[in-house]
Amino acid sequence: MDLSPRRKARLLGPYREATYLAKKAIECDNNSHVDAAAFYYSQAARLLMDLAYNFPTFEDRKEWITRAEEYKKRAAQISVPKSPKQMKQPEMVMLSRCRFLLNQALDADEKGDSKNALVLYKEAMTATLQAMNELKHKPAFQAKLDNIMKEAVARVDHLKMKEKNMLTQKGAQVVTPKNALNIPHEEHEVVNDTNLKLSGKATLTEKEKKVILITSKINNLEFVPFMTVDYSEKFDYRPQRFTDRDGYLRLSPKQQENFHKWARPDELCDAPKMVAGTFIDCFSIKQTVISDCSFVASLSVAALYEKRFGRRLISNIIFPRKKNKEPYYNPSGKYMIKFHLNGIKRKVIIDDYLPVDKKGELLSSFSVRKGELWISLIEKAYMKVMGGYDFPGSNSNIDLHALTGWIPERIVLKPRGEPRKDADELFRMIMQRMKNGDALMTAATPDMDEMESKRAGLVALHAYAILDVRVAQKERLIQLKNPWSNVRWRGNYSELDVNHWTKQLCQELDYDPKNAAFFDNGVFWIDYKSLLHFFDIIYINWNPNMFTYTYTIHEEWSAGVGPAKDSFTVGENPQYRLKLSADVKTGAAWVLLTRHITDIEDFKYNKEYITMLIYANKGKRVYYPYEPEPVIDGARINSPHYLAKINLADVKGRDFTLVISQYEKTTTIYYSLRVYATSPFTLTPIIDPYKYVEKVIDGEWKGLTAGGCRNFPASYDNNPDYHLSLKGAGSICIELRAPPIPKIGFDVVPLNAEGPQQLLHSGDYRAGFVVLEVENLPEGSYSIRPTTFKPKEESRFLLTVKSTVPLTLKMTPKPTQT
């Protein structure tokens, strides 16, 4: 049978997908992954039956039907049995399914996705009708099912009427494809329901789209940007439960020692729930054998914030969820988690398989509240991004930013090994900011020997959640939580301390050390002086709602552009102009540089060091790292985030140059540059204006031609001399490069140009690199003479001349020496 190209395309797509799913099913079946195999068999069967229906005269139709029946039969044979309670109460399973489908339909309806809502309402009605037939002898269930049916029917009628009315109106709504990426910045990047205004263009450039798509592949898996359409992700209750197509996560060595199987939540408890109670609880979080203490500490402080301030900070990144954004248990096992990764919000799809040992106990972080899932599922999603449970660890800045999008800052408690001089000010700041809800904080310990660690009751190289910061009875105290939920501080103000805990102090902090001694949940108080001594870093993630305006640029910095080190020049580094209104007297502008990470090896070895230099020089390109002197000279750190904070009251200018810097750059990096500000601003790349370039790549000072500078007139004229001709008035940039020894410079002498006939010089003699930029240079000829500072200093050099107008550059022949 001959098919038109269009009909052939309609056939081949589903057929290839069915073949792929069947292969996956057989593969899972052979490896005893029966739940996954059943799912793939069912999906392959559905596609083949659809083909048989859509192509009734096609010669392979009978074969498709036969194969589909075989796949369905195999799926039924290997389907995972229900839990004991479900087998005793099948009516509860049916009712749960009907409610779930109705909730999915209502969610789509509320978001204005009428097309999906109609499909889901009809699925809910079909499932409810089937349940009503099977449960007709159970009046209590009949009444509940009847209510579901009535609500679904009413909404379907309403949507059909609405659709009919819309057909009479002119025009049609255009829906942007999910992978088009031509959506506003704010739809891409608004951070956890902040109200920040966009201070720049509304759409991404093609280059930015490329950066975002390239860095969507993390540890060989795709994590695409989270878009508005993803709020309508379908989590429907399938005949077979959802299984992640990416397979099970890689286990850590400690997990493998005790691993028994992957289990669904309803295999582990009778009544799984996403959140047990009104709020998530930081005290319910318990870390197990995975080395992700910073992530678990991050979960703790975010959970405490959510409970303390009544704002969904963590629970609202879990889908599916109700109208009030509260996540709920999905019987079909499919979940979506929204993380901030590589400069943008991205979605992570997981199933609810969790690793357990022979006793049925979880080998992942979990909640001590029975049946509560949010901790284990968020951790699983994050571990999927990180390449599996065999996670080398990160830090809380990275983890909290991924969870919340809050602005990361790293505060070293012992800079250069010395105590901070502003320790008192630091304490006042963290206490006030925590009280206001402006910050999430954790503290990290340095490496310490086993004896010191045991004596102090602290774990070396470990992250602790900061739960509270207080001044009580004139004592500066901080409450911390060990993610292990055991092993506590043994020094001053621990539960073992009998000297410092007065009755008044206990009352003020509502703390009883005697009771605490009987129950080790990893929570303890420590005095600020001890924290400064035993800990080395405080990680703070700032609430972006402290600002009014924001804007982001996503960019690529190729490995071959610019020097490997920034010792001599930053002229070819990526540079940006940040401009605020000159009328702004106070306020702040914070600049966050985020390097995109796509490989777990980055976390293991941390070889890339990035930072930012900020200059108050009216947005002009900077060539020398310390000329002019930077307002902020960022420390090179091997973390993906670097934050520079500009306090406008402390600087004179309002027009800045931002320079991206990387120590010993060897690879292409992708990064995002985001500004948060209290007033409007513009952030734009500083573009090289020069269209015409000439280079001398074989320049050399050798023998007589190593004549030295003008201080040595007897030999100066022996230096190499180059004739520059400008074909019009324009701006030029002349760069001279050489090895770090000797110091170099050059002179520019007008020959027959119009205008002032004055000598131009590159400035102080420097090691490695010198540059001269001249605006509005008259048309004509010029002599460029590169020199070393002293005579007889031999070296090779590279001379580059760039111009806004056409130019020629030729070496001037020297008179023959006799």
Tell me the per-residue pLDDT of 84-114, one tens digit each, with 9 for 90 and over: 444 446 677 677 777 767 877 787 777 677 7
Tell which phi-psi region holds residue 257, choosing left (phi > 0), alpha (psi between -120 and 50) or beta.
alpha
Q: Which residue has the higher pLDDT, 284 or 10?
A: 284
Find the range with the poorest average confidence among 182-191, 490-499, 603-612: 182-191
Contacts of 373 (CB under 8 A, 6+ apart): 265, 272, 273, 274, 329, 352, 367
Q: Is 436 a catalytic residue?
A: no
What confidence tier does 689 reach under pLDDT thresholds 50, 70, 90?
very high
Q: Is 293 a catalytic residue?
A: yes
Is there a contact between 545 and 194 (Cβ–Cβ < 8 Å)?
Answer: yes
Is there a contact between 345 and 217 (Cβ–Cβ < 8 Å)?
Answer: no
- Is residue 570 domain-resident? yes
Q: Is pLDDT above 70 for 700?
A: yes
Closest alpha carbon to 679 in 81, 94, 185, 199: 199
Q: What is the pTM of this model?
A: 0.78
Half-sphere exposure (CA, 13 Å, Cβ side) for 201?
A: 10
Q: Is 260 a catalytic residue?
A: no
DSSP string, 691-749: -EEEEEEEEEE-GGG----TT-HHHHTTS--EEEEESSSEEEEEEEE--SSSEEEEEEE
Q: Is pLDDT above 60 for 128?
A: yes
41 & 159 share domain = yes
Q: Give the pLDDT confidence score for residue 666 in this predicted structure.
A: 73
- Is residue 334 domain-resident? yes
Q: Give the pLDDT confidence score for residue 86 in this predicted structure.
A: 43
Q: Give the pLDDT confidence score for residue 7 in this predicted structure.
A: 60
- Is residue 208 domain-resident? no
- Is residue 704 domain-resident? yes
Amino acid residing at 673:
L
What confidence tier does 238 reach under pLDDT thresholds 50, 70, 90?
low
The partner residues of 349 in beta bridges, in order of sequence, read: 336
Peptide bond into 320 cis (omega under 30): yes
- The tokens describing 105, both together, are 């339909």
- What is the average pLDDT across 166-192? 38
Can you tell me the distance from the alpha carbon of 106 to that of 485, in angstroms, rounded to the nearest whole number?
39
What confidence tier does 735 reach under pLDDT thresholds 50, 70, 90?
very high
Can you tell me the distance from the alpha carbon of 441 to that of 370, in angstroms, rounded to the nearest whole number?
28
Q: Is pLDDT above 50 for 178?
A: no
Q: Give the pLDDT confidence score for residue 236 in this predicted structure.
A: 75
Can you tell me the distance from the alpha carbon of 497 to that of 758, in angstroms, rounded to the nearest whole number?
79
Q: Give the pLDDT confidence score for residue 323 in this predicted structure.
A: 83
Q: Give the pLDDT confidence score for residue 3 in this predicted structure.
A: 55
393 & 515 share domain = no
pLDDT above 90 as % of the chain: 56
Which of 83-92, 169-178, 286-295, 708-717 is predicted most confidently?
A: 708-717
H helices of 386-482, in order, are: 396-404, 423-436, 450-456
- What is the average pLDDT across 406-422? 90
- What is the average pLDDT across 636-648? 90
Q: What digits encode the pLDDT tens for the residues 359-398?
A: 999 999 999 999 999 999 999 999 999 999 988 778 999 9
Run of H or E residues at 244:
none
Question: Which is it for strands 197-198 and 549-557: parallel, antiparallel or unpaired?
Answer: parallel
Q: Which contacts (CB < 8 Å, 24+ apart) does range 150-158 have?
A: 151/102, 152/102, 152/105, 152/121, 152/124, 152/125, 152/128, 153/125, 155/105, 155/106, 155/109, 155/117, 155/121, 156/118, 156/121, 156/122, 156/125
What confidence tier does 52 reach under pLDDT thresholds 50, 70, 90?
confident
555 & 680 share domain = yes
What confidence tier does 239 reach under pLDDT thresholds 50, 70, 90?
low
Is there a contact between 330 and 107 (Cβ–Cβ < 8 Å)?
Answer: no
- Is residue 232 domain-resident? yes
Q: Which of 462, 554, 596, 641 is catalytic?
A: 462
Find the range with the poorest average confidence among 84-88, 636-640, 712-716, 741-745: 84-88
Find the range with the poorest average confidence among 529-543, 638-652, 793-807: 638-652
Tell which phi-psi region holds residue 53, choosing left (phi > 0), alpha (psi between -120 and 50) or beta.
alpha
Residue ending a domain, among 516, 541, 566, is 541
365 & 232 share domain = yes
What confidence tier does 641 reach under pLDDT thresholds 50, 70, 90?
very high
Query: Is the alpha carbon torsion for 51, 55, 56, 59 positive or negative?
Result: negative
51 & 104 share domain = yes
Q: Is pLDDT above 70 for 754?
A: no
Q: Which of 98, 282, 293, 733 is catalytic?
A: 293
Helical axes 114-134 vs 139-167, angle rounded to 10° = 150
Find the range with the poorest average confidence among 25-34, 309-318, 743-752, 753-762: 25-34
- Is residue 193 domain-resident? no
Find the range with the poorest average confidence among 1-5, 298-302, 640-644: 1-5
Q: Give the pLDDT confidence score for residue 2 in this predicted structure.
A: 55
Q: What digits encode the pLDDT tens for the residues 443-453?
A: 999 999 999 99
367 & 422 share domain = no
Dihedral pair phi/psi, residue 565, rounded to 5°? -120, 155
* Terminal CA-CA length for the chain: 92
Q: Give the pLDDT confidence score for residue 172 in this predicted structure.
A: 33
What b/e sequence results for 516-543 when a residue is b if at least 16 CB atoms lie within 10 Å of its CB, and e otherwise?
A: beeeebbbbbbbbebbbebbbbbbbbbb
Residue ending a domain, among 479, 513, 541, is 541
Q: What digits encode the pLDDT tens for the residues 292-310?
A: 889 999 999 999 999 999 8
CATH of the domain at 640: 2.60.120.380
Q: Give the pLDDT confidence score for residue 324 in this predicted structure.
A: 84
- Is residue 181 domain-resident? no
> Taking CA 190 as the corner, what is the angle to CA 230 and CA 400, rounded to the nearest 5 degrees?
95
Is there a contact between 324 and 248 (Cβ–Cβ < 8 Å)?
Answer: no
User: For tokens 């206490």, what's the residue?
Assistant: 431
131 & 248 share domain = no
Can you tell me the distance from the alpha carbon of 388 to that of 250, in angstroms, rounded to the nearest whole number?
5
Residue ending a domain, among 685, 714, 739, is 685
What confidence tier does 753 reach under pLDDT thresholds 50, 70, 90?
low
Q: Is pLDDT above 60 for 671?
A: yes
Residue 463's Cβ-count burial label (10 Å; 0-12, 13-18, 19+) is buried
Domain containing 649 equals 547-685
Q: Is pLDDT above 90 for 163?
A: no
What confidence tier does 40 reach under pLDDT thresholds 50, 70, 90?
confident
698 & 787 share domain = yes
Q: What digits encode the pLDDT tens for the residues 319-351?
A: 999 888 899 999 999 999 999 999 999 999 999
pLDDT above 70 as % of the chain: 88
- Is residue 186 domain-resident? no
Mean per-residue pLDDT of the chain: 86
Contacts of 203 (CB under 8 A, 6+ apart): 182, 183, 184, 185
Contacts of 266 (CB under 8 A, 6+ apart): 82, 83, 86, 272, 331
Q: What digits encode the pLDDT tens for the residues 529-560?
A: 999 999 999 999 999 999 999 999 999 998 77
Domain count, the chain: 5
- What is the average pLDDT across 521-534? 94
- The tokens describing 247, both together, are 């397979």
508 & 633 share domain = no
Q: Give the pLDDT confidence score for residue 756 in this predicted structure.
A: 57
- The tokens describing 30, both together, are 């052979």
Is there a contact between 565 and 664 (Cβ–Cβ < 8 Å)?
Answer: yes
Can you tell me the distance from the alpha carbon of 422 to that of 415, in angstroms, rounded to the nearest whole number?
11
Query: What count of other Cβ atoms lies within 10 Å of the Cβ of residue 34?
Result: 15
Q: Which residue has the higher pLDDT, 693 or 147?
A: 693
700 & 794 share domain = yes
508 & 652 share domain = no
- The tokens describing 101, both together, are 């489908």
121 & 10 share domain = yes
